[in-house]
Structure 1
């Protein structure tokens, strides 16, 4: 399917004779660039799936983003006793257990910069993470800003994480300010599991 797509894009670009940088276009280098664009999109979706796996506490999805020997490395700036540098698959149950104590979470990923080199790639992506947790009976908002650094590898056409580390640039920890109206329906509130509407919305609306 990807080869068909590349062929179609090449046909659509036939009227263009040079790239933006002045490089002469040939079928070979155009196909290479199109394949790089597709690889970068595939990698970006793996990064997005990782964020979703945390917010929906989807252990299977999280595990699927790492190769079996892939590794995870980071330290939590709000709770620095929590530090991990080991196998990614082994990290999954630890992450799921840790997220059970959080009431709400949301991870936003942006600014992905990806460098592809054959079947290997490196990437940097900005992350904004929002967590509601309880301290001494008071809800607190832990808000973190940082960047994920990745090494990816492609096998049989599929990209997965070989190594992921996180650098935090700033954080806030403050009393929670969220207000939910008394009549606000649970139907429209996000769920931190597979009961979330995102898991069946597409199928329901086909």
Structure 2
């Protein structure tokens, strides 16, 4: 039997909610917004970030301040998003390009990672959140020393992004709040 228009609209709304969850994760990671990050996972969720942490997502988020302490720039770019729904459960394969500029005693270096998130989502009490997220690295492109130039003439006079609540987005927008979804 074909799906009704109402069923198709419900599925589209669920996919949009999951897509917004995925985007909120990228924002929370890049802004080092750990309070916001906590709102994206169910309390019993699992996160597998390889050697950084594997287990309860809240334990991973507890470790984020130390993990991110030496990262001057984090920039997660979501590209291809493949979602499959089954009622209040969904799975997603999410392609990302994640740029990292890392401070090091020997000088800063860059790592651009191409990878994917393998996600499981659950809709509980009407809200979609991560129930399990695992990172898969497909490739890495390192540069040592860092090739990032914030003093390049193209950036003259531009707002410069930074981690935390001092990012210019929080002064520019009135609807985006640090620590809120």
Greater C-alpha radius of gyration = 1
- Number of residue pairs matched by the alignment: 173
Q: Give the CA deviation at 1:178.
A: 1.9
Tell me if 1:191 matches 2:162: yes
> Counterparts of 1:57 and 1:186 in 2: how far apart (Å)?
24
Tell me if 1:180 matches 2:150: yes
Unaligned runs of at least 5 residues, structure 2 = 176-181
Q: Give the CA deviation at 1:74.
A: 2.5
Residues 99-118 of structure 1 mapped to structure 2, 5 A cutoff: 99-118=68-87
Residues 39-188 of structure 1 mapped to structure 2, 5 A cutoff: 39-75=14-50, 82-175=51-144, 176-181=146-151, 188=159
CA contact (8 A) 2:88 2:124 kept: yes
> Counterparts of 1:66 and 1:189 in 2: how far apart (Å)?
29
CA contact (8 A) 2:70 2:104 kept: no
Q: TM-score, normalised by structure 2?
A: 0.87
More helix by share: 1
Q: Which runs of 4+ in 1 moved over 3 A?
A: 182-187
> Counterparts of 2:131 and 2:152 in 1: how far apart (Å)?
46
1:33-83 CA distances to partner (integer Å, 9 max, x unpaired)? 0110010010011111111111100011111110000010122xxxxxx34
Q: TM-score, normalised by structure 1?
A: 0.77
RMSD: 2.1
> Counterparts of 1:136 and 1:57 in 2: how far apart (Å)?
22
Higher RCO, 1 vs 2 (CA within 8 Å, ≥6 residues apart): 2
> Counterparts of 1:140 and 1:177 in 2: how far apart (Å)?
8
Unaligned runs of at least 5 residues, structure 1 = 1-22, 76-81
Q: Give the CA deviation at 1:89.
A: 1.2
> Counterparts of 1:72 and 1:188 in 2: how far apart (Å)?
33
- More off after superposition, 158-167 vs 131-140: 131-140
